[in-house]
Chains A and B, each alone.
Chain A
Amino acid sequence: MFSTTVLFSALELGCIYALVAMALFLSFRVLNIADMTTDGAFTLGCAVSATATVAGHPILGLVLAMMAGACAGSVTAMLQTKLKIPSILAGIITNTGLYTVNLAVMGFSSNVNMLKVQTLFTMVRPSLGLLYRLIPAFCITALAGVGLTLFLKTRLGLSIRATGDNPDMVRASSINTAFTVTVGLCLSNSFTALSGGILAQYQKTADINLGTGMVIIGLASLIIGETLMPKGKLWMKVLGALLGSILYRFIIAIALRMDLPSECLKLISAIIVALAIGLPAVKDTRKKGAA
């Protein structure tokens, strides 16, 4: 049904976008915050990585992308914890501001291309052959996933999880919630920006609109992953984000194969997310109706 090219590109994109799903696992599931910074942080990662790549520093570009993402996250966290702006609004404010920042990073042009410069992928191509895109993408994501799982078991990680899980408990224990929320949002947005940074180098172009709807795509992947994996262990949830992201890319590939215009994809993603998040409520109503 799939050609090898389609199969490979679904796997590669799945790995790259899995970082966004992991970021949302951290913000949406662990911290219980719907972080609207995601779209802007993704584009910020693209922009920073692309600009650095054009300047001849593709790997430094990824590091800078993560740092930029962390900055974006810290702005959202500050709006939320210091200025007491509701979390969703805080994210939207940062996201709106980031549009200008992103344009500025790309030298006030709406796109940057990297066709003639060395990227992370062209650097490893001579040694890895056909797998030159899959292996780096997979390795970075796997490393991030393992790192995230381990981090969530540390003292700081446990504090972050408790912050999202039981605010009452956290208020009575020695956890500074402003700090844990800030660390959580910085980390999640650095993952998102890293994803954007890799994607830009992967497709050799960055565009101001690349991040639009990313929060929904990430949530869709995360939720698909959750339905696939049994409930329980932390590492399974993180692995679920990766598998969900890959499966999401396959769904998109199928949709494209059915000659669905690519403009429909965002609507499909939106429907998947609405259904998946809304399903427990629908089940509840039906139970009540039956009783």
Chain B
Amino acid sequence: MLTLSNLRKTFAPGTVNEKVALDGVNLHLNPGDFVTILGSNGAGKSTLFGAIAGSFLPDQGSVVLDGADITKLPDYKRSKYIGRLFQDPLKGTAPNMTIEENLALAYLRASGQHSPFSMISARDRREFRDRLAQLELGLEDRMDHPVGLLSGGQRQALTLLMATLVTPKLLLLDEHTAALDPATAEKVLKLTQSIVEENHITCMMITHNIPSALNLGNRTLMMKDGKIVLELSGPERAQTTPEDLLRAFHQQGMSSDRVLFSAE
């Protein structure tokens, strides 16, 4: 589904701030893979997502999605196939537009079969209601409310729904629950899991939470200094405990309070 070959990116090359963010990353995802990614700050996790989503061009290497080389495709063209969620819940929705308008925007642009002048139909609206009801947040009765009135958790759940309304080829989750309170984070994670499983979405998720890195999905990666330093899948992953993973994390010479606390 997704193949990254020898992906390299250096920021500010030749200056004192030179930073090798991606140092030859190779990765292959099969359809339906759900990969969780761990790593301390500056390990290159978000840069990896940026390279896949097209926020910048890599210095070297290629990104192939579903058989098509998208290495040089501008970001707005890729995002038709790639859904992306950020840590900041405010980044994914337009606050002065209503819930319905936000969904309409996501739906009309991603489905790819609508002219620029198409509008949503009554049938689309019913579909939105049904999908919103599945979030169990009561948003289906507030479709004409501006999104700016929703809480962070509600906005993030809505963003998740928008990113998956038309099933994307790849879903990138960049610590999308990190800014939420624990109970809400739990709920959004559950939603993520059910939406991803139900639609068989190929998904990559960055997290600092060791238990969810192991419990969610079918593969776990650990990154350090722009490289993938550990990869777990299959029976090996099933036998790994959070303590094992934390030990591996420290063996790599990495430390992070957030990772540490999550393993308790």
Measured CB to CB, the residues of A under 8 A from B are: 150-151, 153-156, 158-159, 161-162, 165-166, 168-169, 171-177
Contacts and interface: CB of A to CB of B under 8 A. Distances in A.
Contacts of B90: 166, 168
A233 to B, nearest CB: 8
B114 interface: yes
A162 B117 contact: no
A162 B94 CA distance: 6
25 contacts: A153-B101, A154-B116, A155-B108, A155-B114, A155-B116, A155-B117, A155-B118, A155-B119, A158-B104, A159-B109, A161-B94, A161-B97, A165-B97, A166-B93, A168-B90, A169-B94, A172-B79, A172-B86, A172-B91, A173-B79, A173-B106, A174-B78, A174-B80, A176-B74, A176-B76
A173 B76 contact: yes
Contacts of A176: 74, 76
B171 to A, nearest CB: 12
B199 to A, nearest CB: 19
A168 B94 CA distance: 9
B160 to A, nearest CB: 13
B99 interface: no
Given A154-B116, A168-B90, A162 B97 contact: yes
Contact of A173 (B109, B115, B116): B109
A151 B76 CA distance: 22
Given A158-B97, A173-B79, 11 more contacts: A154-B118, A155-B104, A155-B114, A156-B116, A159-B109, A162-B94, A166-B91, A169-B92, A169-B94, A174-B77, A176-B76
A154 B105 contact: no
Contacts of A168: 86, 88, 90-91
B84 interface: yes
Contacts of A159: 105, 109
Interface string B142-170: 00000000000000000000000000000
A153 B109 CA distance: 13
A175 B109 contact: yes
Nearest to B162: A173
Contacts, number: 78
B76 A169 contact: no
Given A155-B109, A165-B97, A166-B95, A172 B84 contact: yes
Given A159-B105, A165-B97, A172 B115 contact: no
Contacts of B115: 155
Contacts of B106: 173
Given A172-B84, A173-B109, A158 B101 contact: yes
B94 A154 contact: no
Contacts of B101: 153, 158, 161
Contact of A165 (B76, B91, B94, B114): B94
B51 interface: no
A174 B76 contact: yes
A176 B116 CA distance: 13
A81 to B, nearest CB: 13
Contacts of A177: 76
A92 B85 CA distance: 38
B91 A169 contact: yes
A175 B116 CA distance: 11
Nearest to B77: A174
Contacts of B118: 154-155
The 9 residue pairs across chains A and B that have the minimum distance between CB atoms: A155-B108, A156-B116, A165-B94, A174-B79, A158-B105, A168-B91, A174-B80, A166-B94, A162-B94
B194 interface: no
A172 B116 contact: no
Contacts of B205: none
A129 B88 CA distance: 61
A162 B91 contact: no
A155 B53 CA distance: 22
Nearest to B96: A165
Interface string B63-78: 0000000000011111
